[in-house]
Amino acid sequence: MSSTQNSILITGGAGFIGSNLCEYFLEKGYKVTCLDNFATGHKYNIEPFLSNQNFKLIEGDIRNIETCRIAVKDIDYVLHQAALGSVPRSINDPITSNEVNVSGFLNMLTASRDAGVKRFVYAASSSTYGDSESLPKIEDKIGKPLSPYAITKYVNELYADIFSKTYGLETIGLRYFNVYGRRQDPNGAYAAVIPKFVMQLMKNESPIINGDGNFSRDFTYIDNVIQMNELAITTQNAEAVNTVYNTAFGDRTTLNDMVFYLKKYLSEFDSKIADVEIIHGPNRVGDIPHSLASIDKAKQLLNYNPKFSFQDGLKVAVKWYWENLK
């Protein structure tokens, strides 16, 4: 069966990760439906696809079960990205985060089950590791959640597991580790650190690092994430479904090093950026100190082979930001 006959629903398809998935699967000849309420996603992210006959946009909210039912009609695979991200956002407003990330998720699972969707792949989170201090992070060793956001993403995994066991819906959870790259939103109170710092440095403003900058993250370039999503919907390995995978490069970079590379790559476009001073502020509530993924499980069961290291991805991302957001 050729991919042109396969239909994919991407929830949150106008967001950073979702719009990149829309673009990739359209290029591969899939029929793509995007469901988004534009709460955090942007129309301009999907503007180029609107003229593509294989693309369909549904403007709606996953908190509405009827919307979910309409969206999953005639869909083979769901890539569920719709969520309210951000640890601080969930601390400021735990109720809305729960409504979207838990109730909305359950709506999507239920609608997918009832529509006979072949496989439900969803964005899980490295925040699920919580206060577990062991490194690297291995899928079956997690700690206690450190934020309302982390609770919601863990509940996603629990529901997905029950839907697999109880109703036979195939599910795969992808625990994303600090994803970055083209189309990631640099604006707003809850912007991710890389695009936010890029924008500040391009304006010759001093970025503020939370804490001493020795916290580390397994920053993951968007193309590695796309690869994992594709492997998750195409794998024929029966052992590979109904489980969760770390989605990362498998290396860690401190915030200080991250800023060092940002300045290095950006100063190739504007030499003044090399002299911008970095300011250190207090640690952020709910932040885990270190994050590093073991990607052995994904390599073994899905043949995952990430192509972009942190530095490789950052070079490409910085160039994109310079050309598109300057």
Cβ proximity of 89 and 101 under 8 Å: no
CA–CA separation, 196 vs 199, rounded Å?
5
Q: What angle do CA 180, 184, 187 make, to 5 degrees?
A: 125
Q: Does the N-terminal peptide bond of residue 282 adopt cis geometry, omega within 30 degrees of 0? A: no
CA–CA separation, 169 vs 270, rounded Å?
51
Burial group, residue 47, by CB count within 10 angstroms (0-12, 13-18, 19+): exposed
Residue 34 tokens, joined = 């995007």
Residue 122 tokens, joined = 């969803």
Q: Is 149 among the catalytic positions?
A: yes
**What are the C-alpha distances in Å from 2 to residues 25, 42, 47, 229, 261?**
13, 31, 26, 18, 42
Catalytic hit among 77, 149, 159, 321: 149
Give me the active site residues, please.
Answer: 149
